[in-house]
Structure 1
């Protein structure tokens, strides 16, 4: 298990995109982050789910993975490295609301993790979050972790499954703190592969399992995102 810093730039403008210049500036700062183990920078994609239509994906998001919570918190402290990211003007994302959350990252197995991405393209992730609350959170989370990722494994073409669960954290970043009760992420070769998976028999199994969740208020939100990955030793 690792700890992930999850940042999302949100805008009501469905056409908004991060520019190449802004993306490069963000990537340069991120890649120099002390003790960072892996970074994923997300840009919007389009895919079709059989059951949900949650609108356009956000113009930009990040997932920064660390081995320890202390290492992560050091980068978002008052004098932390990622304060430089918060100070970037990023003109292409002007007017965005920026939200943040630190969560524990729980990977789950898949049968074929080897990506088969066409040259010049990047994989695509299906990012999901649960913004509501459960009447008995412990029962809800226990059920979810014991059932839902095990069904995700049957999605055709799935390359990676991660479940993110809540932790308490401290930071000095200027961005809005979120407290989603849970998030998950599934990685595929492309947006077309997401569409195929989200219209497969496994998707109907997922929906049937969703109906068995312990009672909770609120639903879930799904966004397909092109996934740019940087790994560090």
Structure 2
């Protein structure tokens, strides 16, 4: 009777690891094709071709291309019937032309305002002349805004009763030293270029050349005292 011990083979299933989900290494036989960027015209052409084909799904999404079709050829453009909005205030006014020929803005304002006033009212210049005639006042204010290329608000017109007051208002609004503020951007930061023209840079108050030299000499004396103290202590 044989007493040889039997050996049993056990088969265990290896457990999966988290790293098995990630691709490790690369296949040397795999050829990576270079990706070429398509131009905007090619992308638009591809989108139009796909939109022209019948979609297999019940819901097909249409991608509109902005700016492709002009407004004149559309339905809304035909309904406008070539309607255009004309600016009643020109981009380049008579005042801007006069200002280019003059070095002082007040001189240009006086020339344009005087010619506008005499043309509308048919009267000579009188600073105390009241603008009480409603029809004449409307014509004058409109002509002033056109010739000067600016808009005068109704609130500003409430304090204009004479020709002199109108002149002072134009002096205030057209002052080149004033900052142009955009009401649509209340949080905008307006940088003053004149603040960076000075060569003197100081954190505190302004120091002249003599004051700088005195301050420099005082600091130099302090440095020399500190150097002497360190030498004495070292010896």
Q: Is the TM value for this pair above 0.5?
A: no
Structure label with greater radius of gyration = 2
TM-score (norm 1): 0.19
Compare relative contact order (CA 8 Å, sep 6+) and give the higher one, 1 or 2. Answer: 1
TM-score (norm 2): 0.19
